Amino acid sequence: MASPGSILVSPPNLIRLKAAPNNYEWGKIGRASLVSQLAPNAVGPDFKLDESKPYSELWMGTHPHGPAHLFDSPSIPLQRLITASPTPTLGGLLVEKWPQSQQLPFLFKILSIQKALPLQIHPDKRLAEELHAEDPAAFADDNHKPEIAVAIGPPLRTLRDRDPGAGAALVCAEDQDAAFTGFVGFRPLAAIRTFLLAVPELWRAVGDDALVDSFITIPSPALLRRVFGALLTRPDGAEAEVRALYKRVRENVVVGRGAGAAIGRGEDAEEAGRLVLKVGEQYPGDVGMLACVFCMNYVKLKKGEAVYIGADEVHAYLEGDIVECMATSDNVLNAGFVDPAERRAQVPTFIRALSCTARPASHWALPAEPYAHSRGDRTRAYRPPLEEFVVLGTTLSAAVREERFGPARGPMVGIVVKGTVRVATNAQAKEEDDEEMRAAPGTVVFVRPGNGVQMELVEGEEGEVWWAAWGV
């Protein structure tokens, strides 16, 4: 093993990282969480499982709120290595593009979600700079935070079959194969109008009959901003309506009318009714339930499917295991499913910044495509419309155990999710592998620019490795 000092001066091509876990209350509990399952190798001997705690995220990046460290020299943050050797660790092209940054351009995460995350947006670059200058304690950086989420877990219904306590059938609204669910972006204006007409608790919660009438008469993005803002700025006044709707839907289910009877007719009404119960049970009386269920798209992703969420776009993930990648930032504005004081402080800026794009859920889909630099055709690429990162997903099997990438022009961070995989690098001018490690599930690696990568499944029937990369 190289000494810490020599690593800083001459970093190896392949470096094992120690990820940073966290325990937000929305995470899955104990060993049910994918985060806790990966943590022994992702975090190392410091990790001690507590079956009563939620395990929500693993961070793999350089953001100061959850920095990765070198696994074999845990006193050294990855950021220190990059600062000491920016061109060898980031690549000349990346250093030239963002010369003032000297950090990874992306933040890579694993999330394991049991209940709704806060209803939120991430500010765009201009607003992030403004908020950071005004309150650096609350907004730790000046960057934007567009992000993608890729479903990587098994179907949610399968998990409930294994553990009935994971979610009652009464409040289950997932498709048979859905591995992730969440609220993403605004529904089409006509759909929101339909719910306002059908659900008296919703328009009463807005607290402005004239505004609701105007939206119903001629729906528009400008009026949507006002309706959504009115809903979120009077959470105390809306609480009674939230509880009344929850009670009405549950009573209909108990007497056999179905969850949708209180909402309208058809599959959309039934799904909305079940979501009223699901979210209302998680956050009793929170107006975010009305905002999400009736104003936002309910997105269901099968394993391997992804969504892209731009800056200022509203979202609240609901359930499942995902790979998430974003521009390096931790800026967020929350408007639901959070402490009332935090909501009151952030809602005015949230509404001002909010993008009111109203489209079907498919608008936010990010299709996977073949990865051009794959030499084994076992990898798919997720390319969002931004400069900071590409996400790569590699699957291996007993039938096809190997995959190889050509050299990248920038840094790569990878995590093994399934199987034990031999990960090796080879410099651009070499044919043979020059550095390698045996990576069990949870192992996190950093690959320097200019190196090809080889993966070989050496244990298990399935292998799965996820990468965040720049310059590929």
Binding site feature residues = 120, 122, 147, 315
Q: Would you put residue 107 in left (φ > 0), alpha (ψ -120 to 50) or beta?
A: beta
Torsion angle of the four alpha carbons 374, 376, 377, 378, in this order, in degrees rounded to the nearest 10: -100
Alpha-carbon span 102 to 86, nearest angstrom? 6
Alpha-carbon span 241 to 239, nearest angstrom? 5
Measured in whole angstroms, how far is the alpha carbon of residue 64 from the centre of its chain?
Answer: 18
Report whether 472 contacts 408 (CB < 8 A). yes
Alpha-carbon span 135 to 312, nearest angstrom? 19
Alpha-carbon span 206 to 228, nearest angstrom? 8
Q: Which of 86, 85, 68 is nearest to 77 (CA)?
A: 68
Report, in this order, helix, strand and coil percent for the chain, each rounded to 5: 35, 30, 35
- Residue 162 burial (C-beta neighbours within 10 Å; 0-12, 13-18, 19+): exposed
Those residues whose C-beta lies under 8 Å from the C-beta of residue 419, and which sit 6 or more positions away, are: 396, 441, 457, 459, 460, 461, 462, 463, 464
Residues at the binding site for Zn(2+) are 120, 122, 147, 315
Report whether 212 contacts 199 (CB < 8 A). no
Report whether 116 contacts 337 (CB < 8 A). yes
Q: Would you put residue 207 in left (φ > 0), alpha (ψ -120 to 50) or beta?
A: left
Cα dihedral 364, 22, 128, 91 sign: negative
Alpha-carbon span 323 to 394, nearest angstrom? 13
Side chain identity at residue 278, one-letter code? K
Query: Taking each helix axis from N to C terminus, what angle separates 288-295 and 189-198, rounded to the nearest 10 degrees?
Result: 120
